[in-house]
Structure 1
Amino acid sequence: MSEHPERRNFYGRVHGKTLRQSQKVYLDEDLGPLSLPNVTWDDNPDRTKLDLAARFGDRPVWLEVGFGGGEHLVAMAERYPQVAIIGCEPYVNGIAMLLGKIRAAGVTNVALHPGDARDLMDVLPDASIAKAFLNYPDPWPKARHHRRRFVTPDHLIPLHRVLAPGAEFRVASDIPDYIRQTLEEGPPAGFTLVNEGGVAWDDWHSTRYEQKALREGRTPHYVTFRR
């Protein structure tokens, strides 16, 4: 049996304002069937790797870390029905928002882990993910909290392991210091910088966090790495 390592949250709160009744229904009815099994330490203390083929067949699998309200994830699922997309998010209100969008769009190529992305990466097989997204992550602006950012070795090295050779890793943020750290930490973790700047990807779907940044006068920045 594997020993549970020391954990440090890279995310903040997991509950927000009171959920609407419809959102409670989504959580009750939809979250279970969409959630990947055997991800948490309680369910899988030996950290046995997931059988993604049993769930998704021969589809390429993409991963979105911290999907927020789910706008980007559902847009990608609609645009690329031949791909399976796993979304990770510990924030219950965001999960409920995504579930509502999944119902409205009728997409069937999505699976979820409603928790810490590191727990999921523990049980993903090597080289099993064809593309990964990190969109507007929690910036943790205080210097003493920078270790909680996703773009640290604790997270990037496991992500590098689960990405397939040649896979893209996309990062979007409006926080200059987050971009600085992303560009510094990516190459030592094994990622090759492909592009960075103010021009988004051709298939980019803006999120509520990007729209807020634009309203408040902050400039989005987009980074592409390759595994």
Structure 2
Amino acid sequence: MTNDDQNAHASGAPWRNFYGRLKGKALKPSQKRYLEEDLAALSPGPVGWEENPDRTPLDLETRFGARPVWLEIGFGGGEHLVHQAAENPHVAIIGAEPFINGVAMLLGKIRRAGVANLAVHPGDARDLFDVLPDASISRAFLLYPDPWPKKRHHRRRFVTPEHLGPLARVMAPGAILRVATDIPDYVRQTLEEVPRHGFEWLAKRPADWREPWEDWQSTRYEKKALREGRVPHYLTFRRT
């Protein structure tokens, strides 16, 4: 029995450490209203799926029809997520973000943009991995993840076996994974770890990681990095 099994929730879901922030400054009244009025309807699964003791896979076809399904892991304030949804109405996009202030910001952007092909999980992406069917995701985004710069905290980064193994399981053969970061050591770890989990790096020339993707929407985290003189890297992988 693993440590996670011993510390499972009553629902049967595994218990996991979470190291990031779940809430920041007080929400605006409008943001509280968005959470109360909009969030439940945007769930990627039926009511109560998070507490499903059997961890039955989500029925993505019932939820989204025949659309390809994309996943953004940690969407921050939602700028990129809403942009991709608006530019790609033929796909369905699930966003996972445990920071509730970011979720509230996203809901406001969804209202203003009027996009209807989004689902929102206000929690850890690992919980989604538990219930996403095998090979169900055709594109995934990991954009400016928490760098955890101290060496003793590197095991908390997303680009570790704990996260990459489940991610590889839910991504279809040929699916694309995009990673953006401004932290050189995160680039190093990404290039070491991601290929070990069934992905190939698609770069052929320096411009392939120095220049953003053609459909890129800059985020607040990237703009902060540029203001502070850090250089973004844009890494593209394909599930083998």
TM-score normalised over the length of structure 1: 0.95
Shift of 1:46: 1.2
Selected match of 2:16 from 7, 15, 25 = 7
Deviates more, 1:38-47 or 1:123-132: 38-47
SS class of match (2:51): coil
What does residue 131 of structure 1 align with? 139
Matches within 5 A, 1:44-83: 44-83=52-91
> Distance between the aligned counterparts of 1:158 and 1:39, measured in 2?
23
Deviations 1:151-193 (A, max 9, x none): 0011011101100110000000001111111000011111111
Identity rate, percent? 69
**Are positions 1:108 and 2:116 aligned together?**
yes
Mapping of 1:1-227 within 5 angstroms? 4-9=13-18, 11-37=19-45, 43-195=51-203, 197-227=209-239
1:88/1:115 contact within 8 Å kept: yes
RMSD: 1.7
Q: Deviations over 1:32-83 (max 9, x none)?
A: 1102236988611211100000000000000000000000000000000011
**CA 1:203–1:84: 2 relative to 1, 3 Å:** same
Cα distance in structure 2, aligned partners of 1:58 and 1:2: 30
3-state SS of 1:197 partner: helix
Equivalent-residue separation in structure 1 for 2:11 and 2:52 (angstroms): 9
Alignment partner of 1:67: what SS? coil
Residue type at the aligned position of 1:204: W
Q: Which has the higher contact order (CA 8 A, sep 6+)?
A: 1
What is the rounded CA distance, in whole Å, between the counterparts of 2:26 and 2:11 in structure 1? 37
Distance 1:59 1:4 in 2: 28
Aligned pairs, how many? 226
CA change 1:105–1:89 in 2 (3 A) is same
